[in-house]
């Protein structure tokens, strides 16, 4: 049973056909690209103006006077090939092991050369004052 007062399309939902055109979308994209390019050009010109202002208003820095010295600040920057302190320190330590000297004269302690002390230990001799 149909109601004669209602149109035949009653109860049927019809959607309107999409009438989307690409022209407005392309206009928005073109406007955004143009705005971006204008902003890039403006930033570039501003950067050039700032650089020219600094170049004319500031003197060039003078190079440091200590530029080619081997030590800068607290950091030793001498090339390894030229480093001799370790070898000198080791030679001094080696020499102290080979000489005889007093450690404590009042206590009777003497430093013997290392090789001589090892020979005495191998012979079974005890250091003076040892039990």
Q: What is the mean pLDDT of residues 56-84?
A: 63
Residue of 110 and 56 predicted with greater confidence: 110
Distance CA 120, CA 89 (A): 28
Residue of 131 and 51 predicted with greater confidence: 51
Helix (H) or strand (E) holding 110: strand 109-111
Which residue, among 86, 69, 66, has the nearest Cα to 77 in the 3D structure? 69
For the segment 74-99, what is each residue's pLDDT rounded down to a tens digit? Answer: 565 667 777 788 888 999 888 888 88
Sign of CA pseudo-dihedral 115, 116, 117, 120? positive
| Chain position carrying tokens 């005890």 | 126
Residue of 112 and 76 predicted with greater confidence: 112
């Amino acid at each position: 049973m149909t109601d004669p007062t209602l149109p035949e399309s009653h109860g049927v939902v019809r959607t309107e056909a999409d009438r989307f055109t690409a022209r407005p979308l392309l206009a928005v994209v073109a406007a955004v690209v143009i705005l971006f390019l204008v902003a890039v050009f403006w930033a570039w010109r501003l950067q050039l103006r700032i650089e020219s202002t600094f170049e004319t208003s500031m003197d060039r820095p003078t190079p440091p006077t200590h530029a080619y010295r081997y030590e800068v600040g607290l950091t030793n920057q001498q090339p390894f090939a030229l480093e001799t302190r370790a070898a000198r320190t080791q030679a001094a330590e080696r020499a102290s092991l080979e000489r005889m000297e007093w450690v404590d004269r009042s206590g009777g302690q003497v430093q013997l050369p290392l090789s001589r002390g090892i020979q005495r230990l191998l012979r079974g001799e005890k250091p003076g004052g040892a039990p």
